[in-house]
Structures are given as C-alpha cells and as structure tokens.
Chain A
Amino acid sequence: MNSTVLFVDDQSDFIKLLETKLEAEKYDKLFCTNPYEAWDIIRKQDIDVLISDINMPGMDGFELFRECMNHFPEIVRVALTSMNSPGIILDALNNDVVHRYFSKPWKVDDNGKEQIRKLLDLRSQLIEKIDRNLINKALSRVRAGIKIVRCENAGSRAIAPLTDRYTLISEL
C-alpha cells in the first residue's frame, strides 16, 4: 500500500502548484483548501503525513495539528507557513504539536520533494516509538518486570524483523 500525504492550504493557487509539481512523486497525495474538510479526511482515511498551512479561516493549522496529535498521533505533522513568529513555531515544535516546520515561500524543487520523502521515513520511526510505548505500558500493567527497548545496532530500517530491532530487558 502506498503512503499518503495530505496537503492543506486555503490558498487554492498554492494547492494547484503542489498538485502540478508533485504529480510524479510515488506516494499518494490528497489536497484540501479547507481545514474542516481536512479533518474529515483524516478521520476517514489512512494518512501518513499531514502538511498544513497555519493561518487559515475558521480552524487554524495548529488546531488541526492538535486534533491530530490527540486522536491520530502516528500521523507526521508538518507546518508549512510564511508566519514570521519564531516563538510560536518553536513552541509548537517543542511541545510535539508539529514534528517539522517548512518555511514559505516553498517552491517545491528537488530539495522540497526530498524533504517530503524523508517525512515518510519519519512516519515509520514514529509508529515504532508509539508501539514501543504501548507495549511497555501493557507490560507495566501486568507487572511483568520487563520492558521492550530498541536494540543498539537496530539501524533505521523499519522493515527489519521485530526481533532484530527490539529486545526485552528486565526492569529490575
């Protein structure tokens, strides 16, 4: 199954630019000019990466990211904005509201395309981290006295067998 990236920006011209420039990229792309519609899509479809503008009428990008963080934490959240308030962006990054920040103007050149592909790798890492936390929570609930940790030489290949990537250690 292909990965899916959802782009949200109320500027329809910018969305059309993305559609044109990213046409040949291999992942699936969804485009949306309305954050409420975007939220609807997120609830109904499997989205791997959400790339959204911040300043939008009605629901702003941060609100959309927070909803996502609370309900679908495995989705990679990326702010794409010409906002020039570093404090606000840093706050969002430091509080995990967004994982990455791309600055507008964004011409979607080769470098921009590569940035998006890297987000798909980040998604695998994010899922691993969430799964590990869930397993550890479950283990602590059954008082197993063990926890799952990432192997030191695991590398970053999410497709490697689980037993190559994780090991169980005693909590004692």
Chain B
Amino acid sequence: MEKYIITLPEEIRSLIPDFMQNRKKELEWLQNALLKEDYEKIIGIAHASKGVLGSFGFTKAYRIAEKTESYARMKNKKGVEKSVSDLSFNLNQTEIHYKDDLG
C-alpha cells in the first residue's frame, strides 16, 4: 500500500501525537458536515486544517485540504467526498521521520 513519508524537525516531535489526533477529529467533523451537506462548515474546517497542515510540513495533506475547501465553495458534493476520502487516506498512510537539523 502507498506510504507518504515526511521528514519533520526533531524539535516538534512531541507536538505530533496531539496534532494527528486533532486532524482525525477534523476528519470526523468533515464527514459529518458532508452528510448534512453543510458546505459553510466544510469550508471553515478545511480552511483551518490546511493552514495548520501546511505549517507543520504536511504538504500533500495541505493540498488535499485546499481542494476540499475549493470544492465546498463550489458546493461540489462529489469533489468534497473524494477529497475528504483522500485526506483520510493520506493521514492514515503518512509515515513521519524526524531529523535534528531541519530548522
């Protein structure tokens, strides 16, 4: 199965367990909002999520969250479904490595 390997600075290692847990919560919120076709809520969650994903260095997941936000703005249900599923897959398949001198 496809794996996404990302390398993060050692100094943020201790933040990652909570970070991943919070992203999983956001995924649940996205899925619930999608069931209700609440696009405003999806925009809000995806927007917040993309900022934090990108800042932590989860570039691929950041791009997927960005797509989720765009599809939600267009009220494109299929697009949102696909991108939320991609985001879930990406986060589940991400393997994190740490390195000291990444800054």
Contact A14 B55 (CB under 8 A): yes
Q: How far apart are the CA atoms of A115 and B52 in the complex, in Å?
A: 19
Q: Which residues from 12 to 56 on chain A have a C-beta closer than 8 Å to any C-beta of chain B?
A: 12-14, 16-17, 20-21, 53, 55
- Decide if the interface of chain B is mainly helix, strand, loop or mixed: helix
CB distance from A22 to the nearest CB of B (A): 11
Contact B54 A104 (CB under 8 A): yes
Contact A82 B54 (CB under 8 A): yes
Count A interface residues, CB 8 Å: 21
Q: Which residues of A contact B55 (CB under 8 A)?
A: 14, 17, 104-108
Q: How far apart are the CA atoms of A76 and B19 in the complex, in Å?
A: 30
CB distance from A128 to the nearest CB of B (A): 33
Q: Which residue of A lies closest to B18 (CB)?
A: A13
Residues in chain A within 8 A of chain B (CB atoms): 10-14, 16-17, 20-21, 53, 55, 81-83, 104-110
Residues in chain B within 8 A of chain A (CB atoms): 11-12, 15, 18-19, 22, 44, 47-48, 50-57, 62, 103
Pull 8 A–B residue pairs with CB atoms less than 8 Å apart, ordered by A.
Answer: A11-B51, A13-B56, A14-B51, A14-B55, A16-B15, A16-B18, A104-B51, A109-B103
